[in-house]
């Protein structure tokens, strides 16, 4: 398969190409066409023409509602085909790839249902005035997504942006552009107005920068790493372009002494090993009450060692990392943990087989000052730390520059909720890591970024408010 550009309703394969690799085997499985500055310009101009034509905002808003419900149906029709491609290019288990397309369809249903409910308000100014607000799209919105959930993350911002009436240019991630191409093919087949959604592929430094620096771009949604987010914000600052930043994390779960061990272990399995740990909201640190630490460490080790490891198409529990570079990074960070004095009770190294597999890794004897306790690992590695008092646990959990998610486990509702209240993160999970859904607002504090995706709050990012103040001639 070739990941092509989709511009103004037409597919194009003009440009140089690079290979797309299957991280489970290291073999090439497709190609991606790289968009240069000229191609990006065409895509932005197509979005701008669509915006100015009023194709999305001219008809009654119920038009966008029905368009988006058609899109949700079209996504479901390509789920099997798209899931296999996404599984092969990203390495993730086939059932998770299917889940990502299902989630994509849900975003279009959820935000489609809001498209005809974006109302303004009237503001009383006394009998001589009539004043109201209108919520309107920014115009051309540029979206840049990473490779770890290319379909789900693209769908979450495309759906909210489209419901708000924006015309969008999205840049696919160069390492995993194929599944997103299938998604956009499905949207294109649902009578999408030409230019409403445009897709370009390519490297961040070329295609991505050309897109976010384009003078017609009026709004940016970026999901990815902190250094890239910072670079994009510098560029956005030049033209004062409003931006949503969904960046990394170093999230902690707190396990109180009365927590149910099976519940915690199930959450560790999803929190740490889902998508091989390549999740911005991964459970990266687990702070465990001293009285439960050894028993829990043993149970987590047993679960980690029982994980079935394999190629995504076999639908195993643990799959490869996205690339050789990513594997090197994760392994080096794990080695630094050992040098710093942590103990790997299981794992700690790459797996000697084709593809980019890392052992499921659990560290004990971790101190808060170690790199493995401070830096985002983005691999299947967990650090266990001990605490004695709740205050100590909260201080350790909040001792990070990030603030994406956090978690608390325990049966005593008062203590558990009081702990949750003190955690400085955009979303706090209680007794289930990754509780929530497309309906629940998601986003960070600190280095994890700002703005919210998912839930009703996301629409606020994609809309701007115009106030109309009328002096009545009485």
SS3 content of the chain, % helix, strand, coil (to 5): 40, 25, 35
Touching ligand NAD, residues 406-465 (CB under 6 A): none
Instruction: Using alpha carbons, list the distances in angstroms from residue 433 to 254, 284, 364.
Output: 11, 11, 20
Query: Looking at 42, 103, 246, 317, which residue binds ligand NAD (CB under 6 A)?
Result: 246
Query: Looking at 173, 320, 380, 455, which residue binds ligand NAD (CB under 6 A)?
Result: 173
Do residues 191 and 70 touch, judged by C-beta distance below 8 A? yes
Query: Looking at 79, 141, 148, 383, which residue binds ligand NAD (CB under 6 A)?
Result: 148
Query: Looking at 111, 147, 273, 357, which residue binds ligand NAD (CB under 6 A)?
Result: 147
- Phi, psi for 210 (deg, rounded to 5): -60, -35
Q: DSSP label at 335? A: H
* 376 touches ligand NAD by CB under 6 A: yes
- Cβ of residue 132: shortest distance to ligand NAD, in angstroms? 34
Task: Assess whether 246 carries a catalytic annotation.
Answer: yes
Give the count of beta carbons closer than 10 Å to the beta carbon of residue 105.
Answer: 24
* 280 touches ligand NAD by CB under 6 A: yes
Q: List the catalytic residue out of 31, 89, 100, 246.
A: 246
Q: Tell me how far the alpha carbon of residue 158 is from its chain's centroid.
A: 12
DSSP state string for 404-444: SEEEEE-S-HHHHHHHHHH--SSEEEESSTT---TTS-B--
Q: What are the counts of helices (DSSP H) followed by strands (DSSP E) for the chain?
A: 15, 20
What is the rounded distance in angstroms from the CA atom of residue 443 to the CA atom of residue 188? 29
* 223 touches ligand NAD by CB under 6 A: yes
What is the rounded distance in angstroms from the CA atom of residue 92 to the CA atom of residue 310? 10
Candidates 27-35, 187-195, 222-230, 364-372; binding stretch for ligand NAD (CB under 6 A)? 222-230
Taking the CA atoms of the chain, what radius of gyration do you get in angstroms?
Answer: 23
The residue at minimum Cβ distance from ligand NAD is 204
- Cβ of residue 226: shortest distance to ligand NAD, in angstroms? 6
Q: Look at the chain and count its residues.
A: 474
Query: Looking at 22, 174, 269, 317, which residue binds ligand NAD (CB under 6 A)?
Result: 174
Choice between 57 and 323, CB closer to ligand NAD: 323
Give the count of beta carbons closer than 10 Å to the beta carbon of residue 11.
Answer: 15
- Cβ of residue 241: shortest distance to ligand NAD, in angstroms? 13
Query: Looking at 166, 228, 243, 361, which residue binds ligand NAD (CB under 6 A)?
Result: 228
Do residues 92 and 319 touch, judged by C-beta distance below 8 A? yes
* 247 touches ligand NAD by CB under 6 A: yes
* 208 touches ligand NAD by CB under 6 A: yes
Say how many residues touch ligand NAD, by CB under 6 A.
29
Choice between 12 and 445, CB closer to ligand NAD: 445
* 104 touches ligand NAD by CB under 6 A: no
- Residue ranges of alpha helices (H) inside 113-202 are 150-163, 178-188
Choice between 22 and 174, CB closer to ligand NAD: 174
Tokens representing 439 are 């309906």
Binding mask 176-205 for ligand NAD (x = CB under 6 A): ---------------------------xxx
Tokens representing 133 are 């607000």
Where is 52: in which H helix or E strand? helix 37-53
Choice between 56 and 200, CB closer to ligand NAD: 200
- Cβ of residue 175: shortest distance to ligand NAD, in angstroms? 7
Interacting residues toward ligand NAD by CB under 6 A? 144-148, 153, 171, 173-174, 203-205, 208-209, 212, 223-225, 228, 231-232, 246-249, 280, 376, 378, 404
Q: Which residues are catalytic?
A: 246
């Amino acid at each position: 398969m070739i990941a092509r550009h989709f511009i103004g309703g037409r597919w194009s394969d003009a440009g140089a190409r690079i290979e797309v690799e299957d991280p489970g085997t290291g073999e090439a499985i497709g190609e991606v066409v790289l968009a240069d500055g000229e191609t990006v310009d065409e895509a932005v101009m197509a979005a701008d023409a669509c915006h100015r034509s009023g194709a999305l905002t001219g008809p009654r808003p119920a038009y966008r509602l029905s368009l988006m419900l058609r899109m949700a149906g079209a996504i479901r029709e390509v789920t099997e085909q798209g899931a296999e491609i996404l599984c092969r290019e990203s390495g993730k288990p086939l059932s998770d790839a299917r889940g990502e397309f299902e989630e994509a369809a849900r975003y279009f249903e959820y935000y489609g249902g809001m498209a005809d409910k974006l109302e303004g308000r009237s503001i009383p100014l006394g009998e001589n005035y009539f004043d109201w607000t209108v919520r309107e799209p920014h115009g051309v919105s540029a979206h840049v997504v990473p490779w770890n959930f290319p379909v789900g993350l693209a769908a979450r911002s495309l759906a909210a942006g489209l419901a708000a009436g924006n015309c969008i240019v999205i840049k696919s991630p160069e390492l995993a552009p194929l599944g997103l191409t299938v998604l956009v093919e499905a949207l294109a087949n649902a009578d999408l107005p030409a230019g409403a959604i445009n897709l370009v592929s390519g490297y961040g430094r070329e295609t991505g920068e050309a897109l976010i620096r384009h003078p017609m771009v009026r709004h940016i949604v970026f999901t990815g790493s902190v250094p890239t987010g910072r670079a994009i914000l510098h560029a956005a600052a030049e033209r004062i372009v409003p931006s949503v930043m969904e960046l990394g994390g170093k999230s902690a779960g707190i396990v109180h002494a009365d927590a149910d061990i099976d519940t915690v272990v199930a959450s560790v399995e999803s929190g740490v090993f889902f998508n091989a740990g390549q999740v911005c909201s991964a459970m990266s640190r687990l702070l465990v009450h001293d009285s439960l630490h050894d028993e829990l460490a043993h149970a987590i080790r047993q679960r980690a060692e029982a994980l079935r490891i394999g190629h995504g198409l076999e639908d195993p529990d643990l799959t490869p990392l996205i690339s050789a570079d990513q594997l090197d990074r994760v392994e080096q960070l794990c080695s630094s943990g050992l040098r710093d004095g942590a103990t790997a009770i299981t794992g700690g190294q790459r797996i000697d087989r084709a593809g980019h597999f890392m052992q499921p890794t659990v560290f004990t004897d971790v101190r808060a000052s170690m790199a493995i306790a401070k830096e985002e690992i983005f691999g299947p590695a967990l650090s266990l730390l001990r605490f004695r008092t709740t205050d100590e646990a909260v201080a350790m959990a909040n001792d990070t520059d990030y603030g994406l998610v956090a978690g608390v486990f325990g049966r005593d509702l008062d203590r558990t909720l009081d702990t949750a209240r003190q955690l400085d993160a955009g979303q706090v999970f209680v007794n289930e890591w990754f509780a929530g859904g497309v309906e629940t607002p998601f986003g960070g504090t600190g280095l994890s970024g700002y703005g919210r995706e998912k839930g009703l709050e996301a629409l606020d990012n994609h809309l701007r408010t115009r106030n109309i103040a009328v002096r009545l001639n009485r």
